Amino acid sequence: MLKNIKRNDFLIIVGLLLIALVFVYYYVNSLARNKLWLKTYLVRAELSVQKTNCSDDSPTWLADILNHQTRHNNAPANQIAYIDQQDNLHHCENGYVGQYPLLSDPTTQQTRFRYASVTKLWTADTILLLIKEGKLSLDTKLSDIITEIDKPKDPNVNEITIRELLLHRAGFDRYSMFGQDMFGIGKPICPDNLQGLNDIKLGFIPDSKTSYSNLGYCLLGEVISRLNDDRSYKNVIAQQYNFANSTLQFVSDAALPDEVSYNYVETGLTGHANIYTAFNYDGLASAAGLSGNAIDLAKQVKAMAAKPAPNILSVDSKVACDKAQIQECYGYAMIPYQPDDQATTVYFRDGSLLGLSSLAAVDDRGGVVALLSNGTPSNGAQGNNKVKMMIYQHLAAAQ
C-alpha cells in the first residue's frame, strides 16, 4: 500500500503531521506558547503606533512619548494627559484595549488602567490634610494610633512616626522578610494582622536611611481609617475625592469591564499567571489599589499639587538628598528632580505591576503629565527613567 503513495502525497502527510505536532507542543506547553507570543511584539507594536489619536492642538511630544512607550517599553496600549500651566487639557491614546490588535476596540480616553503605586498620592495627600486639620502631626508616632502595637519585640517599632512612613524611612527594608508584604514574603501584617508588628524586627533604625515600602503605606491607610471613625480607607478616599464623578475606582482580583488588557505573560516559574491574581488588592488598597484613566489622574494630581503646603510636592527639610539624581530624593509623596540649582524642578511619582506602568509628573509652575501604559520596559528603571527625562525636557521647555 505504501508503494502506491505518491511522493507529493507523502510530503503532504509529513507536513501535516509536523504541523499537528507543533500545534500540540504549543497547546500543552504554555511557557513555550507565551514566549512565541512575545516574539510577535514588534508587529503588535507597529499596529498600535498606527492607532494613535490625540485631542485637537495637542503638543506633538505627547504622541512621541506614546510611540516610545510602544516601541521601546513593551506597552502596546497607552494614554497620556497633559494639563499645561494655563490649565488647557491635552491628551493622546494609542493601541487596542484587548490582547489582539485589529480584533479588539481601540484604546480611548475613557479606557481604564490600573494606577499601581501612583495610588500612594491619594494616601499621602489625605495624611497631609489630616496634619493641616490638626488631627495628627508629622512626628505623631504610629503606635499612638495603631493601638495593636503593644510591647513590640523590636522597641524601634514604637518610634516609627508619620513622617518616616511618608518618606519611606520607617525601618521596613523591602528586601527583608518583613519589608514587602506585596509579594507574599513573610507572614502578612497589614491590614489584617496588625498585631504582627509586635513580632517583627525592623531592617534598620527608623529615619536612618530610605527604603521604599508598600507596608509603610498600608499602615498609613490604616491611620486614615482610624482617624475617620474607623471607616474603611476605600470609603474615605472615594468620598473625599469625589470618585462618583470620575472614572476612579478601586480594583480587585478580576478585570473591570472597561479595563485594558496588560502585556504580561508568564515565561518563567514565578507562579504569577496574571496581574489579577498575583496580589492581594484589598491589602494593597492604600499603596497600589486605584484605577482610572490618564485624564482623571492628571486632574486629581493637579488639584493635590495646588493645595497649601505641606502638599504632595513638599520635601522634608530634615532629609538630605540629591535632587539631581532622578530617583534619589523622596518627598512626602513625590520625587523632585532638578539637574542644577537654576533648572526647572519636576516632581515624579511612578508605579508598576506585572504588565503595567504608571507615571505622574508635576512641574514647579503647575503643569501636569499623567502617563498610563499596559506594559513595563525590559530594562526596568533605565527604561522608566528615559521616559521621565523625555517628559522633563518638554515640561522645562514650556516654562
* Average pLDDT of the chain to the nearest whole number: 89
- To the nearest 5 percent, what fractions of the chain are helix, strand and coil? 40, 15, 50
pLDDT over 90 percentage in the chain: 74
pLDDT band with cut points at 50, 70 and 90 for residue 224: very high
Contacts of 365 (CB under 8 A, 6+ apart): 85, 344, 399
SS3 373: strand
* pLDDT computed for residue 26 by the predictor: 47
How crowded is residue 333: how many other Cβ atoms within 10 Å of its Cβ? 27
pLDDT band with cut points at 50, 70 and 90 for residue 265: confident
Q: What are the tens digits of pLDDT across the range 227-260?
A: 999 999 999 999 999 999 999 999 999 999 999 9
* pLDDT computed for residue 2 by the predictor: 47
pLDDT band with cut points at 50, 70 and 90 for residue 274: confident
The yes-or-no verdict on residue 178 having pLDDT over 50 is no
Average pLDDT (153-180) is 85
Q: Tell which phi-psi region holds residue 230, choosing left (phi > 0), alpha (psi between -120 and 50) or beta.
A: left
The yes-or-no verdict on residue 125 having pLDDT over 90 is yes
pLDDT band with cut points at 50, 70 and 90 for residue 31: low
The residue ranking higher by pLDDT, 32 or 50, is: 50
The residue ranking higher by pLDDT, 17 or 163, is: 163
pLDDT band with cut points at 50, 70 and 90 for residue 36: low
Distance separating alpha carbons of residues 92 and 65, to the nearest angstrom: 10
List, as one string, the DSSP characters of 190-238.
TTT-GGGGGT---SS-TTSS----HHHHHHHHHHHHHTTTT--HHHHHH
Q: What are the tens digits of pLDDT across the range 306-358?
A: 999 999 999 998 888 899 998 889 999 999 999 999 999 999 999 999 899 99
* pLDDT computed for residue 327 by the predictor: 82
Q: Which of 86-100, 181-195, 323-337, 381-395 has the lowest mean pLDDT?
A: 181-195
Residues linked to residue 259 through DSSP beta bridges, in sequence order: 112
* pLDDT computed for residue 9 by the predictor: 56
pLDDT over 70 percentage in the chain: 85
Cell of 176: 527583608
Distance separating alpha carbons of residues 208 and 204, to the nearest angstrom: 7
Kindly list the strands in the beta sheet with 89-94, ordered across the sheet, starting from the edge strand earlier in the chain: 52-54, 89-94, 78-83, 368-373, 356-363, 346-353, 335-337
pLDDT band with cut points at 50, 70 and 90 for residue 287: very high
* pLDDT computed for residue 271 by the predictor: 55
The yes-or-no verdict on residue 89 having pLDDT over 50 is yes
DSSP letter at 105? P
* pLDDT computed for residue 264 by the predictor: 81
